[in-house]
A and B are shown apart, each in its own frame.
Chain A
């Protein structure tokens, strides 16, 4: 179990304010989606939570501990991170790539233990890529590679998972596979946060949505509360039809609002 709390989190990238006083509390057991237009600060927010970008002000508490007092390794054991649109720099075998996920748990010179191997196999199975174990990761299709990289993040075995646009470049079938997997992780008690661009997927799968606009958190709540016509018009500048199916909205973007 892990909790993440941000207080007044601000980040500047160059002269541009990328994140402006975000307050946030994330708890395990729910699938949280971060949505918002390009450049709204979604990736910056999660990079700031992970300590990958310098904070201008504010604080991040992980399990109630100020993250400034945690080492990178401490954070790595608590939060697994799947960066956006990953390029792989060397043609590693899938098994070798997924094994990188065990790094936060390894001593300086120790080798993979039987438990590490078991975690790696479990992660491969959960992401449904066990059959790709011996293949070379750079020679896989986009959908296979995305799932292998997800397996790499799962292999960390951390109580929290933060994924930045895990659906990019996936066909609808694979998008559903990945969302099902994230949902299952959350229901199994993990803290799962994911940046999404597909509002339909966000509405269908997420228990809670965070809507970002120009570095600020402008809406936070259940999909029905966040995905309103007013919010979509204000933040995305689009008109959309919103139907309700059960407790979840169905979103159909209609057009740009000019003016």
Chain B
């Protein structure tokens, strides 16, 4: 087991992210030859190629990177803070609350009035969720109260989503909600990028700043506080970072699970295993994984395009089987 971060980890992840981004621009239902792409990127090119590349694929690629980065980072930060390798962005209820906001927009038809109604409502719901989390979890330092409060909010939001499906006036409305819940980056525009980007930037800044706190928590709450860490403030930053960042991500992509759960597990063996060391790699790894998965759903030939959440959930299974086998020392 290596004790230090692999020196090539960050450069390799950045290179992978660039390759994935390029792939996301190049690959899709309409094949575009490299010269046509190059022509568009250098400011020329034909109208069709420009439309496909700049209006369809570029925002989609940017969203894949942004959303993936946020999911990977928040998973790593939460696993460190809660000292639980099974923690993921949904444990604080932020993604479920955001999903409920989006579902409300669909259910009441607000989403058809204005394209930004859905993401706006999702972010608002995520913030309401975090407000409830503050009230329920209180200022105590123990991570357990935070998990319990998060589960309460996630469950309530889940019940609201089920209710909307239960009461939906016709099968088509239910289908629309279901299909949004499965997560996708299809048909997104720059307005979605401008919604997600500031939220993710704020959320990521709040989470990245606390790497040292997460390291200190290796020694438990008392140990961390005796090292000079103010756990209450750290907890505030973490809650806000997850709510704003994940809320913004879910608002534009739908509920995409498992990225935040599996990415930290994939990068951890390549680091010194301290919680701070996996933050940046998880952020980059999340961006790579989601962008690759998004290329996957475009290329896998199915009658209707696969939903991103379906593919990421499938990817999660082998990762956990490998961990299970290592735990049982079968491998």
Contact = CB atoms under 8 A, between A and B. Distances in A.
Task: Tell me if chain B binds chain A.
Answer: yes
Interface of A: 47, 50-52, 71-77, 79-81, 83, 86-93, 95-97, 100-101, 103-104, 106, 108, 134, 136, 152, 156
B218 A97 contact: yes
Given A100-B215, A100-B219, A103-B212, A89 B228 contact: no
Contact of A83 (B4, B212, B219): B219
B77 interface: no
Given A89-B83, A95-B3, A136-B3, A104 B227 contact: yes
A76 B228 contact: yes
A86 B223 contact: yes
A85 to B, nearest CB: 10
Contacts of A71: 228, 230
A21 to B, nearest CB: 23
Given A92-B273, A92-B274, A152-B219, 9 more contacts: A81-B223, A83-B226, A86-B219, A87-B220, A89-B83, A91-B273, A95-B3, A136-B3, A156-B227
Contacts of B227: 76, 100-101, 103-104, 156
B55 interface: no
Given A103-B212, A134-B3, A90 B275 contact: yes
A50 B224 CA distance: 12
Interface of B: 1, 3-4, 83, 209, 212, 215-220, 222-223, 225-230, 272-275
A26 B237 CA distance: 37
23 contacts: A47-B222, A72-B230, A73-B228, A74-B228, A81-B223, A81-B226, A83-B220, A83-B223, A83-B226, A86-B219, A86-B220, A86-B223, A88-B218, A88-B219, A89-B217, A90-B274, A91-B273, A92-B274, A93-B3, A96-B3, A96-B272, A103-B227, A103-B229
B216 to A, nearest CB: 6
Residue of B3, B273, B275 with most chain A CB atoms under a 10 A cut-off: B3
Contacts, number: 81
Contacts of A87: 220
B272 A92 contact: yes
A52 B222 CA distance: 7
A104 B222 CA distance: 14
Contacts of A50: 225-226
Contact of A100 (B4, B218, B225): B218
A86 B216 CA distance: 13
Nearest to B229: A72
A51 to B, nearest CB: 8
B275 A103 contact: no
Nearest to B85: A90
B228 A104 contact: yes
Nearest to B4: A93
A108 B205 CA distance: 14
Given A50-B226, A72-B230, A90 B220 contact: no
A28 to B, nearest CB: 19
B220 A77 contact: no
A91 B47 CA distance: 55
B222 A100 contact: no
B226 A52 contact: yes
B215 to A, nearest CB: 6
Nearest to B213: A103
A152 B101 CA distance: 47
Nearest to A84: B222
Contact of A103 (B220, B222, B228): B228
Nearest to B217: A89
Top-10 shortest CB links A-B: A76-B228, A93-B3, A73-B228, A81-B226, A89-B83, A104-B228, A103-B227, A83-B222, A72-B228, A89-B218
A156 B228 CA distance: 11
A259 to B, nearest CB: 38
Nearest to B230: A72
Given A100-B215, A104-B228, A106-B212, A89 B274 contact: no
Contact of A72 (B215, B220, B225): B225
Given A86-B220, A90-B275, A92-B272, A76 B226 contact: yes
A176 B3 CA distance: 31
Nearest to B2: A93
